[in-house]
Amino acid sequence: MPTYEKIIDSDKERRKIKADRRMREIMTAYYMEAKTPKEQRGKKIAWITSGGPVEPLHVMDVIPIYPENYGAMIGASKMGVDLCEKAEEMGYARDLCSYARADIASATVNGGPIGGLPEPDMLICCNNICGTVLKWYEVQARYFNVPLFILDTPITHTTFNDEMRRYVTRQSAEYIRFLEKACGRRFDYDRMAEVGALSIRAQELWQAILDTTMSKPSPMTCFDAFFHLAMIVTLRGTQTCVDYYEMLLAEMKERVAQGIGMLPVEKYRLVWDNLPIWYRLRWLSNKFMERSACLVADTYTSGWVSQMPSVSSTDFLGFMGESYARIFLNSGTDLMAENIIRMVKKYDADGVVFHSNRSCKPYSFGQYDIQKILRKKLGIPTLMIEADMVDERSFSESQIETRIDAFIEMMKK
């Protein structure tokens, strides 16, 4: 007695995104290089927060490594609970973000899908995503005994003013001095202009890729975006990233031209808010697909595109601080709500799915208010799913399934 009619998908092969393979190759090569022993590798390694300014690292030929990206890999390979429990044994609270727990634990046991991350030579922490990263990176700086640079970005509650601008610009200059010292050589400003241009180009391409989902049927879902996101997070500022996204964009445009959607049937279009639930991506993607609901966009993956369209590609450093300070996650609830409203309109969505993420407080904190604002301003249905991005112990399958079912039943009328 299936609740939903079985959709027979004879076109499944055609629906697959071909670029996926190339993406896997690039990511493998990236981690292989980083995992090469230090003596052979030559390059230094910096661990950096997902929202941190990575471009200057590329200028200095430092390999950026993202514990959060690794956290996602840990989550997706369902190794999160083990590592989280390990961190709890070490004395960390279960309320601590599961990326932090997984990373702190994995550093001590070389755990996780690739047997731990290569040791850092320095740590770069930008608190534009949350306050958790400050303490997390301090812990790691002590553990590995390496220098830590902190870029402090004030929250944009409603507006970003000149004082804030000066504050972050000054820190950008400090950041460069930190890198010069850590690497023992001068910073190359010409190279910065090139890397900056590549980063901006990658951001434009990524946004263009995300924008293809305005088409009906949508050529991909947010579950695909969660996968292809790794590139903009880890490799923005490189030619590899630009080349890959050009290829992916071309494929997306081709899909649009041929009317190939990611879902065999697309009845409802939804927007996702918050981080993915990494260990349940396939399950969730199938649940929504079986109900002909397409998650066309999300607030998470678009977070890596600068909110400043005017960013000058010739003076990247001059704008860097501000552009990193003004990301979605570092703004007030009103701006977050506006962003979702904009997305609902842009992608012509019928509803919004909120993942209330036990780990990520800054992302989840305002969701009830945002829900209310959406109800008032757009009158569209919303769904709240309570879970955690890495710690499976906070996921209850039957309860979440009931909510998804009820949500779809509600939209059916």
Least distance to another protein from the beta carbon of 135, Å? 25
Alpha-carbon separation of residue 299 from 304, 318, 320 (angstroms): 10, 26, 21
Beta bridge partners of 319: none
Least distance to another protein from the beta carbon of 101, Å? 19
CB-CB contact of 394 with 80 (8 Å): no
Non-local CB neighbours of 300 within 8 Å, separated by 6+ positions: 222, 226, 229, 272, 273, 274, 275, 276
CB-CB contact of 171 with 52 (8 Å): no
CB-CB contact of 224 with 218 (8 Å): no
Picked from ligand SF4, another protein, none, the partner binding residue 360 (CB below 5 to 8 A depending on kind) is ligand SF4
CB-CB contact of 233 with 303 (8 Å): no
Footprint on this chain of ligand SF4 (rule: CB under 6 A): 68, 97, 99, 129-130, 132-133, 275, 359-360, 362-363
Picked from ligand SF4, another protein, none, the partner binding residue 368 (CB below 5 to 8 A depending on kind) is another protein
Picked from ligand SF4, another protein, none, the partner binding residue 189 (CB below 5 to 8 A depending on kind) is none
The reply on whether position 8 binds another protein by CB under 8 A is: no
Least distance to ligand SF4 from the beta carbon of 98, Å? 7
* Burial grade of 191 (CB within 10 A; 0-12, 13-18, 19 or more): middle
Hey, which residues between 323 and 382 contact another protein (CB under 8 A)?
368, 371-372, 375, 381-382
Whichever of 52 and 351 has its CB closer to another protein, that residue is 351
The reply on whether position 403 binds another protein by CB under 8 A is: yes
Whichever of 143 and 365 has its CB closer to another protein, that residue is 365
Give the whole-angstrom CA distance, residue 80 versus residue 78: 5
Beta bridge partners of 283: none
The reply on whether position 94 binds another protein by CB under 8 A is: no
* Burial grade of 186 (CB within 10 A; 0-12, 13-18, 19 or more): exposed
Picked from ligand SF4, another protein, none, the partner binding residue 130 (CB below 5 to 8 A depending on kind) is ligand SF4
Alpha-carbon separation of residue 163 from 29, 51, 159, 160 (angstroms): 42, 21, 11, 8
Picked from another protein, ligand SF4, none, the partner binding residue 161 (CB below 5 to 8 A depending on kind) is none
Picked from another protein, ligand SF4, none, the partner binding residue 403 (CB below 5 to 8 A depending on kind) is another protein
Whichever of 1 and 8 has its CB closer to another protein, that residue is 1
User: What sign has the CA pseudo-torsion 234, 239, 244, 249?
Assistant: positive
Give the whole-angstrom CA distance, residue 149 versus residue 126: 8
Whichever of 265 and 329 has its CB closer to ligand SF4, that residue is 329
Least distance to ligand SF4 from the beta carbon of 304, Å? 13
Picked from ligand SF4, another protein, none, the partner binding residue 99 (CB below 5 to 8 A depending on kind) is ligand SF4
The binding site for another protein (CB under 8 A) comprises 1, 3, 368, 371-372, 375, 381-382, 384, 386, 396, 398-399, 402-403, 405-406, 409-410, 413
